Structure 1
Amino acid sequence: MNSITSSAEGAPAQKKFPVSLLSLTVGAFAIGMTEFVIMGLLPNIAEDLSVSISTAGQLITGYALGVAFGAPILTMLTIRLPQKLLLCLLMAIFIAGNAISVFAPNYAILMGARMLTALAHGTFFGAGAVIASNLVRPERRAGAVSIMMAGLTIANIIGVPLGTFVGQHLGWRASFGAIVLMGVLALIGILVFIPRLAKEKQAGLAQQVRSLAQPKLLLFLLIGGLGNAGLFTVFTYITPLLEQVTGFGEHSVTLILVLFGCGVTLGNMVGGKLADWKLMPAILGLLFVICVILTLFTWTVQSPMLSVITIFFWGAAAFAVMPGLQVRIMNLAGAAPALASTSNHSAGNLGNAGGAFIGGLVITHLGITSLPWVGAVLVGVGLVIALASYIAERKAA
């Protein structure tokens, strides 16, 4: 990894979390808005562009595929760029993609704009995680990554409801206009606060690909994908689950999802501290806790009070494991931390899509009440793989 020095003093990574991390948090907040706000605007977009709801829904699929497949390619094409310059380029792509969305005259151009924006998503989090982890001392790396990722989680609590409100009252294009402004703020923050990077010799593309192809690293990408699949098997259908099984009304579900977002944000921060304390034990412990919570949710979903409590802790545990997985993958990457970090987000988005697909099959063949335990099984498979890898590593050591 590149070492980071301050432009004035050439000091090593800071002991405390620096203010420059906030510029990455703002960028993550903007990206979180653009990824998720469209879910609340699909009827408006469909009506304005004269397409069906299902066709408009493909804008979400197109974005996920852009992250999953486009981001690693963009990362490999930009491996020789200085990391601060790369972040600025990515935010410029992000701003351009959302600006095109504001003025898109038809569905095809809007889809293209969404896929362009998706390129910045995974690569930004990949490069940003490397920079964030190098802005602090080694024992605080996971905490630094969690602060950057907090922007994504806070976007679900504040940004998405606010963006949906703006879109419903001023038109969906206004929501993308607000996201453009957030992107501009993030770009200014990166230019002003992110320190210059001490340029070191970069590994070649072939070497980076070989680093990424390590069996152990690929296993942890699979673990992250399975974790996301377990999450989205349930979360994709959380609204009908709470309305049809628990008996909540539509307004109550919205408040419960805000509570879930609060749990996500809390878990993200706590997970970073746990990973800095004991990385692999934290990952294994949190995966086990997720399995237990989802299994319990199979029964607590029948009770309004217990289901709300379960959902809060589920959100906290599901996102608490992510900073640790991110750092673990970067540690294993050797010469390709940014590419591995980006690939982690790609694997996660494939898990999102796979989880939504599996959830649909579960509803069709097993019933909607089976979603939680199926999600627990998916996370459990990831836990078994992680545990086997950890045991083998301990024996080898």
Structure 2
Amino acid sequence: MLMLCAFAVGTSEFIVVGVLPEVAADLDVTLPTAGLLVTAYAVSVAVGGPVLTVLTGRLPRRSLLIAVMVLALLAASACALAGDYTTLMAARMVAALSQGLFFAVASQVAVAAVPPEKQTAAIAKVVNGVALSTILGIPVGTLVGQNYGWRASFALVAALTLIGLIGVALGAPKVEHEPDAGVRASLFAFGKRTVLLGLLTTILSFTGMITAFTYVAPALRDVTGFSPAWVTGVLLVYGLGTMVGSTIAGRVRPGSIAKVLPIPLIGLTVLLLAQGFLLETKVTAVIAVFVLGAAAFASGPLLHTFLMGQAGSAAGLVASVNISAFNVAAALGPMIGGAVIAGGFGFQWIAAVGAVPTLLGVLVALVISRLVRRGAAPATEPNATTYAHA
């Protein structure tokens, strides 16, 4: 059920990437301006997610999940009906608020449903909902948008969100809810070096990935020479990569995350440095897009599970802040890519520029690994006792 909801909200976040040129043309804005629809969404999640998590900390989880999905449905419908850029931007920001709160609650419920050794796999399954959105939701939404207009893509998002809402209403179990530790107590978690370094790793590593991914559709058309229909197929390959990456991450025990984490981040950095060359031929471009998805979505569940384990009783708030950190990266990525385009350097240079923050993320991940290896930080599992089935 949580995977189904993650599929809906994941499609809502990134579906605009596949129809970015169509949105820009129809609303009479530049491509970098249209890219700000991704940025604004990310900023809304980054700021609103933790605030809403604190404000709703005492609400029953099942009722909260239903309310979140209702809000997401209303926002998706507003996107489909938007007649101008401002309305679309406002609707996207509301959708972002619902997503930020959803992933905070879903992460806690997921780790509470399984024994400690399977908590990474539980988080990975929720992330697989996002991966599935890239495999099916985004490519199909792109195809729908190219043939019936970009508003039809958001109508598809509304339909997926409605399915998720029905799944929550019918299938969400009642859970006994122990409220979070409170703002003051939770803030102590952010004094831990490993928590701060983990959040920094999320921002740095995903800034590079999203810098490349935001403009991947126009790059595949203008640089590689794919037709619009083939671009949809290549995005499907990207989605397959995300599913493979998150599945692999789910096999890592929480206590081994710090040691394993630098590996996918190094792979992501190498890929970003080489992507400009790989885009020159169709075969290598497809391989590059697959590896981009696999490396990024292998890193995500590892970071999320590790941070929740380090946070103790503040796992809910830290989970929300980590989603915010990801969306800070999602805000920075389009801005960096847009600056590269505005500077006249072309799509081939976007990923190489994005490799710089990702390389810094690798260095921070290595520091985390060293702290855990030397015993300066515990290799703990997320708190699984906060939620229990009634």
TM above 0.5, yes or no, is yes
Aligned length: 374
Is 1:270 aligned to residue 248 of structure 2? yes
The runs of 5 or more residues in structure 2 that have no matched partner are 377-390
Tell me the distance in 2 between the aligned counterparts of 1:303 and 1:166: 26
Tell me the distance in 1 between the aligned counterparts of 2:375 and 2:339: 41
Shift of 1:384: 1.0
Tell me the distance in 2 between the aligned counterparts of 1:288 and 1:104: 41
Aligned counterpart in structure 1 of residue 316 of structure 2, from 333, 338, 342: 338
Is 1:146 aligned to residue 146 of structure 2? no
Letter of the 2:365 counterpart: A
Letter of the 1:193 counterpart: G
Shift of 1:44: 5.8
Shift of 1:247: 4.7
- In structure 1, what is the equivalent of residue 384 of structure 2? none
Which structure would you say has the larger Rg? 1
Give the direction of change, closer, same or farther, for the CA distance of 1:258–1:103 in structure 2 (3 Å limit): closer
Tell me the distance in 2 between the aligned counterparts of 1:192 and 1:295: 47
Q: Which moved more, 1:264-273 or 1:236-245?
A: 236-245
CA deviations on 1:118-166 (whole Å, 9 max, x unpaired) are 1011111121111112111111111111111112121122112333444
- In structure 1, what is the equivalent of residue 96 of structure 2? 118
Tell me the distance in 2 between the aligned counterparts of 1:218 and 1:189: 35
Give the direction of change, closer, same or farther, for the CA distance of 1:212–1:259 in structure 2 (3 Å limit): same
Shift of 1:107: 4.3
- In structure 2, what is the equivalent of residue 159 of structure 1? 137
Give the direction of change, closer, same or farther, for the CA distance of 1:148–1:381 in structure 2 (3 Å limit): same
Aligned counterpart in structure 2 of residue 395 of structure 1, from 367, 374, 381: 374
Aligned counterpart in structure 2 of residue 382 of structure 1, from 361, 373, 385: 361
Give the direction of change, closer, same or farther, for the CA distance of 1:273–1:302 in structure 2 (3 Å limit): same
Query: What's the C-alpha RMSD, in Å, of the aligned pairs?
Result: 2.8
Tell me the distance in 1 between the aligned counterparts of 2:163 and 2:250: 26
Q: What pairs with 1:299-338 in structure 2 (closer than 5 Å)?
A: 299-338=277-316
Tell me the distance in 2 between the aligned counterparts of 1:47 and 1:297: 27
CA contact (8 A) 2:38 2:331 kept: no
Shift of 1:84: 2.3
Give the direction of change, closer, same or farther, for the CA distance of 1:41–1:138 in structure 2 (3 Å limit): same
Is 1:354 aligned to residue 327 of structure 2? no
- In structure 1, what is the equivalent of residue 215 of structure 2? 237
Shift of 1:373: 3.8
CA contact (8 A) 1:71 1:119 kept: yes
Shift of 1:188: 2.5
Shift of 1:109: 3.6
Tell me the distance in 2 between the aligned counterparts of 1:46 and 1:245: 19
CA contact (8 A) 2:80 2:152 kept: yes
The runs of 5 or more residues in structure 1 that have no matched partner are 1-22
CA contact (8 A) 2:124 2:250 kept: yes
CA contact (8 A) 1:212 1:336 kept: no
Shift of 1:261: 1.5
Shift of 1:323: 0.6
Q: Compute the TM-score of the two structures, normalised by the length of structure 2.
A: 0.85
CA contact (8 A) 2:35 2:334 kept: no
